[in-house]
Every structure is written in structure tokens, then in C-alpha cells.
């Protein structure tokens, strides 16, 4: 009996939009990337698996440390090459010689680029109202943290933003304004986001929704699938 198993890992990276020169400062954006690690082979008659997921994770761990919370342009082979196919090719080549059970990796954006707003229904379990959600991708760093903290480094995220306001008819137009303001930016260069935590981003979103007349009463900013901030103004 043969089978394929998949271990999914996410990395949070920044990348340069154009190189620095004497008369222009480098600009940065960022993305969350999804990396699917694949193993394939005969199911072991005693253990019941193709390979231990721990072994699959350990194979990739040295490269994960290079990619996660970093700027891709600091990796020589990825300088100027930020598409999923570029990262996929680099990972596959860097892991050679492959173990017999390894079947390669697939790399994709964690969320599709672009403006794709969607209304989310109320979630009584999480005590969340109906809200409009959209995503944007950007670079950031937290220079206020110690240098050894991973978030001190220049990196990036594909953020999910959720907004609820009393003027529901204005939400999608407001979301578009927010997307155009944040997407593809180095957030630390924006006023008030010199320390670009999710809490400060949420406060900035709230202020912009309020200024657009949408009367916000809930904002959420999600950096990764496991890290969210809920903000209620004030």
C-alpha cells in the first residue's frame, strides 16, 4: 500500500520592491507563504506510516529558519525572485540529496493577492458580529523588540482585516481605501505605525473607518492563522 502525506508550514517574509540607490530608498512589501512538504512511499507494516511527520519537519527546519521572519533578498539565490515558483525551486534544490521518501514541496501564497472582500456571518461562538473581511500583504518590523526576537527582523505578512460598522453600505468602499493604503507597503513608514504591531494596525484601521463615516464598532487584524487582534476603539 502506497500513500502520500503532507506537512504544511507557513513562513512570514519581506521582499524588496526595487533596489536602493543613492537617490531613492528601497521599498519593501511582504507575504505569508504556504509550504507543503510531501512524502510518498509504501506504508510501513509495523508503524502504519510512510515516514514520521517529525522527520519530514526536521528535514525542512534549517530552511524554515532561513525563510521565516526574514527578507527574501537576504538569501542570494532569492534576491529579486519572490514568486512561489522561485521559492519552491530553491527549496527543492537546497534539500538535495532527497531521502527516498521525500516527494518535494509546493509553495503558494497563503492568501491570493489582490482585493477580494467577503462578508462573514456572525460567529456566536467567538462573539463576533457580521463583518467585512479582506486581505492585504505588507512588510513590517518591530524595532522596539530585542534583536534576538524574530519580529525585530524585517519580515512580512498576508494580513486579514475584518471591519464591522453601523453604516454597512460604506464598508466595501472603505475596505478598498484601506487595501490601497496598506497593500504592498512597508508598514513602519506609515504615520503611527513606526511600531507596526497588530494592535497599532487595528487602531489605524479603526480611525480610517471612522473618518470614512462607517461608524466602526469592531475591527480585527490577523497576522497569521494563529495570531489575531480584536479592537473595539477607545
User: Within this chain, do residues 58 and 156 fall inside the same structural domain, yes or no?
Assistant: no
Q: Please name which of 69, 30, 72 lies closest in space to residue 152, comparing C-alpha atoms.
A: 69
* pTM of the complete model beyond 0.95: no
Residue 52 has pLDDT above 60, yes or no: yes
134 and 173 belong to one structural domain: yes
Q: What is the pLDDT of residues 96-153, one digit of tens each?
A: 999 999 999 999 999 999 999 999 999 999 999 999 999 999 999 999 999 999 999 9
Q: What's the domain count of the chain?
A: 2
Q: Mean of the per-residue pLDDT values for the chain?
A: 93
Same domain, 198 and 124: yes
Residues 65 and 129 in one domain: no
- Going by C-alpha positions, the residue among 3, 17, 46 that lies closest to residue 139 is 17
Measured between alpha carbons, how far is 99 from 59 in angstroms, rounded to an integer? 9
Domain that holds residue 83: 2-109
Residue from 36, 9, 39 nearest 102 by CA: 39
Co-location of 125 and 29 in the same domain: no
Of 58, 89, 109, the last residue of a domain is 109
CATH number at residue 199: 3.30.479.10
For residues 224 and 123, membership in a common domain is answered with yes
Q: Is the pLDDT of residue 209 over 70?
A: yes
Residues 133 and 29 in one domain: no
Burial of 153 (0-12, 13-18, 19+ CB in 10 A): buried
- Pick the last residue of a domain from 75, 109, 143: 109
pLDDT in the model for residue 2? 86
Q: Binning pLDDT at 50, 70 and 90, where does residue 234 land?
A: confident
- Is 129 found in the same domain as 47? no
Most confidently predicted of 9-18, 45-54, 55-64: 55-64
Could you say which of 109, 138, 156 is where a domain stops? 109
Indicate if 43 and 7 belong to the same structural domain.
yes
20 with 93, same domain: the answer is yes
| Integer Cα distance of 2 and 42 in angstroms | 4
Confidence category of residue 17, pLDDT binned at 50, 70, 90 = confident
Amino acid at each position: 500500500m502506497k500513500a502520500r502525506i503532507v506537512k504544511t508550514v507557513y513562513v512570514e517574509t519581506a521582499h524588496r520592491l526595487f533596489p536602493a540607490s543613492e537617490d531613492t530608498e528601497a521599498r519593501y512589501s511582504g507575504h505569508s507563504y504556504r509550504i507543503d512538504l510531501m512524502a510518498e512511499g509504501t506504508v510501513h507494516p509495523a508503524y502504519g506510516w510512510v515516514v514520521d511527520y517529525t522527520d519530514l519537519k526536521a528535514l525542512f527546519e534549517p530552511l524554515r529558519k532561513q525563510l521565516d521572519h526574514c527578507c527574501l533578498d537576504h538569501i542570494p539565490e532569492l534576491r529579486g525572485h519572490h514568486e512561489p515558483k522561485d521559492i519552491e525551486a530553491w527549496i527543492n534544490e537546497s534539500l538535495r540529496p532527497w531521502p527516498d521518501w521525500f516527494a518535494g514541496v509546493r509553495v503558494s501564497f497563503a492568501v491570493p493577492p489582490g482585493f477580494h472582500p467577503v462578508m462573514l456571518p456572525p460567529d456566536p461562538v467567538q462573539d463576533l458580529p457580521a463583518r467585512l473581511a479582506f486581505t492585504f500583504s505588507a512588510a513590517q518590523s518591530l524595532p522596539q523588540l530585542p534583536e534576538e526576537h524574530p519580529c525585530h527582523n524585517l519580515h512580512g505578512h498576508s494580513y486579514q482585516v475584518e471591519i464591522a460598522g453601523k453604516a454597512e453600505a460604506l464598508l466595501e468602499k472603505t475596505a478598498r481605501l484601506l487595501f490601497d493604503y496598506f497593500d504592498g507597503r512597508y508598514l513602519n513608514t506609515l504615520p503611527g505605525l513606526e511600531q507596526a504591531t497588530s494592535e497599532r494596525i487595528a487602531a489605524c484601521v479603526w480611525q480610517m473607518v471612522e473618518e470614512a463615516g462607517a461608524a466602526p464598532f469592531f475591527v480585527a487584524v490577523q497576522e497569521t492563522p494563529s495570531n489575531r487582534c480584536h479592537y473595539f476603539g477607545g
